[in-house]
Amino acid sequence: MKRIRKIRNIGIIAHIDAGKTTVSERILYYTGKSHRIGEVHDGTAVMDWMDQEQERGITITSAVTTCFWRGHEIHLVDTPGHVDFTIEVERSLRVLDGVVAVFCAVGGVEPQSETVWHQADKYRIPKIAFVNKMDRIGADFQQVIRQMEEKLRANPLPIQIPVGAESDFRGVIDLIKMRQIIWLEETLGARYEYVDIEPDLLDEATEAREALVASVAEYDDALMEKYLEEQVIEPDELIRAIRKATLELKLVPVLCGAALRNKGIQPLLDAVVDFLPSPLDVPPVVGTNPESGAKEERHPSPREPLSALAFKIFMDEGRKLTYVRIYSGSMNVGNQIYNASKKTREKLSRIFSMHANKRERKERAEAGDIVALMGMKSATTGDTFCDPQYPILLEPIEMYEPVISMAVEAKTRGDQDKLMESLVKISEEDPTFRFHEDPDTGQIIIRGMGELHLEVLLTRLERDYHVSVRAGKPQVVYRETVQIEASGEGIFDREISGMRHYAKVAVRVLPRSRGAGNIVSIDVDEERVSLDLVEALRQGIEDALNSGVLLGYPVTDVEVMVTNVEIDEQNPSDIACRVAASMALKDACEKAQPELLEPYMTVEILTPEEFLGEVIGDLNLRKGRVESITAKKAVQVVNALVPLSKMFGYSTDLRSATQGRATFSMQFSHYDSVVDPQAAGLT
């Protein structure tokens, strides 16, 4: 229990380009995990180890590492900042105990900052904030504090103030200890000193400390008493009170610095140790017994039965690595582990402590650890591993539905089979990636969270799986129906192989309501028409329904009645009945005012209120129909029905219209009349 008290499972979250990975690289260097500082702009960052991350200068996949500070073991997860890879943040937050939110001192609270902050709120994760890039032109520490209050509805608590800003930024003032910290440039910031506060900053620092103590005292009765009596409040007392309020989600300690200039990282590490929770500080994990259905708790102790959650799958040179957070119990190499989600038992062949893409073998892992396992063949993201004698099913990770799709095909026949195998492997790693073969068009459709997401996956297909593909827009699959009731007739009379095949079939077709499907009824004299011929008639109707009279799309929402059948009773013919029935239905459909239907999607958009007008205006241009608008905390939720043909490129357009601050989800609703006949090829 002594070890688990000194564990910190933390993540670094932020908007893209706020400096998360730069902060992570300094943490690794100053804790001694790395012996050189990796730089994102040089493509040498340890945590951005994928080729595409180094080329693009962005984080694509969350990287896990372990480092040590002041005798504490810090399991650190560096997460992506781009909205297309938000699942990486979601599944990391699901297993973390605390987060460091990095904000740009110039950009402040940016769109993806809001998204990841609300994701952390959903899991009730304590946070500390780091205002980075204080050396940049336009840096404004107080403006970021105000934006945290306004946009995030947070209660920020500055425990530092900057000394200077922009090119004059030279250090910070620690308001808890009331000392100034300076970093020595020649040591790459590894050495730093506490010195007396500059005289011209003393009044500002004193006022800021007064505000700090007053804010913290609101959440601590003993501190409030000392504050009102104007007694001296020691740094240790403040740290204890701030920790308590942070763990209760009442305050967010805020620090500042310039990671690229090697300033501010060591106090941030101190804050991680002082204010963020150990596994013992968070409530015990709750799950369901799969046998009894009863709720059960698992406390963070190696003596409890095993419970662990798989939060990430990664294919490493063809071998599956399963990243897990162990909530209780322990696991040893060679153990039989029960996967309660898949109801399978698997042998644990290896355990690794991860440092980005480098692995360090371990024989044992315990409660509080974040490790990677090898040997879990059936594992997928969100699976629960537990003791076979004490099964438990933890709440799975919430997945996001893909919102953008693309058609792909292999460039060569030899790559066709490899393409499907590769797509299966990628979908195991990434639960927001889906693919299927469209039965109507024969296209392979891949779906993801955005254009960058799919672009990265296509590059991976070529580089990692050596499959060359062509990509393009998927085809919209239309349907056909009829608008009025009509009758039709079909006659088949032909001699085949010296034998006459004859049938005359009459049908009536009627429109049905949208989404009602098709009904086929055959009202004939059973004494004259055998069951084989009835089946042939039904097959002929089905053939005709598969290919409509307008553009050859399947016919839907119709009722078809076979009203009369004439056959050669001396020589009844299955072929003649089948073809005549098909001809009769096509004749009836041509008379029944056929029309084209297109798929409509239910779209849910979350947007800040100031962009509501732009969002609704854009939906109107796309021939969409707004169904409802509801307020949800700081955002407006718009529900609309929009034709699928108008939704291509919507992800990019929505971000442009809302400065990247709106998100949306989309799923199929129903088929309805085409709004743009020219686009559908009718004119």
- State how far Cα 658 lies from the chain centre: 20
Q: What is the DSSP string of 410-431?
A: ESSTHHHHHHHHHHHHHHHH-T
H or E element, residue 681: none
pLDDT at 388 over 60: yes
H or E element, residue 209: helix 202-217
Bridging pattern class, strands 444-448 and 404-410: antiparallel
Beta-carbon contacts of residue 591 (< 8 Å; ≥ 6 apart): 486, 487, 488
Beta-carbon contacts of residue 203 (< 8 Å; ≥ 6 apart): none
Question: Model confidence over 77-96: pLDDT tens digits?
Answer: 877 755 556 677 777 888 89
pLDDT at 338 over 90: yes
Q: What is the DSSP string of 64-131?
A: EEEEEETTEEEEEEE---SGGGHHHHHHHHTT-SEEEEEEETTTBS-HHHHHHHHHHHHTT--EEEEE
> Which of the four pLDDT bands, split at 50, 70 and 90, describes residue 633?
low
Nearest to 597 by CA among 513, 502, 508: 513
* Beta-carbon-side half-sphere exposure of residue 2 (alpha carbons within 13 Å): 1
Lowest mean pLDDT among 290-299, 396-405, 503-512, 531-540: 396-405
Lowest mean pLDDT among 202-211, 267-276, 572-581, 662-671: 662-671
Q: Cβ(372)–Cβ(322) under 8 Å?
A: yes
Q: What is the average pLDDT value for the chain, to the nearest integer?
A: 86
For residue 48, what pLDDT is reported? 45
Across the range 604-617, mean pLDDT stands at 89
pLDDT at 390 over 90: yes
For residue 567, what pLDDT is reported? 85
CA diameter of the chain: 116
For residue 681, what pLDDT is reported? 57
Q: Cβ(265)–Cβ(102) under 8 Å?
A: no
Most confident of 214-218, 373-377, 679-683: 214-218
For residue 22, what pLDDT is reported? 86
User: Cα-Cα-Cα-Cα dihedral of 41, 44, 45, 46, to 10°?
Assistant: 170
Structure tokens at 332: 């040893």
Lowest mean pLDDT among 30-34, 324-328, 364-368, 450-454: 450-454
Q: What angle do CA 643, 644, 648 make, to 5 degrees?
A: 120
pTM above the 0.85 mark? Answer: no
Q: How many Cβ atoms sit within 10 Å of the Cβ of residue 292?
A: 9
Give the helix, strand, coil percentages of the chain, each rounded to 5.
30, 35, 35
Beta-carbon contacts of residue 118 (< 8 Å; ≥ 6 apart): none
Across the range 163-185, mean pLDDT stands at 92
Across the range 237-260, mean pLDDT stands at 95
- 263-281 core/surface letters (b: 16 or more CB in 10 A; e: else): bbbbbbbbbbbbbbbbbbb
Alpha carbons 323 and 662: distance in angstroms, whole number: 31
Across the range 525-536, mean pLDDT stands at 79
> Which of the four pLDDT bands, split at 50, 70 and 90, describes residue 288?
very high
pLDDT at 293 over 50: yes
Most confident of 76-85, 244-253, 387-396, 660-669: 244-253
Nearest to 663 by CA among 630, 636, 631, 623: 636
For residue 426, what pLDDT is reported? 84
> Which of the four pLDDT bands, split at 50, 70 and 90, describes residue 315?
confident
Question: Model confidence over 38-80: pLDDT tens digits?
Answer: 555 444 555 544 455 445 455 456 678 889 999 999 998 877 7
Q: Cβ(128)–Cβ(148) under 8 Å?
A: no
Amino acid sitting at position 43? G
Terminal-residue alpha carbon distance, the chain: 74
Amino acid sitting at position 496? I
Q: Cβ(104)–Cβ(19) under 8 Å?
A: yes
Q: Which residues pair with 469 in a beta bridge?
A: 410
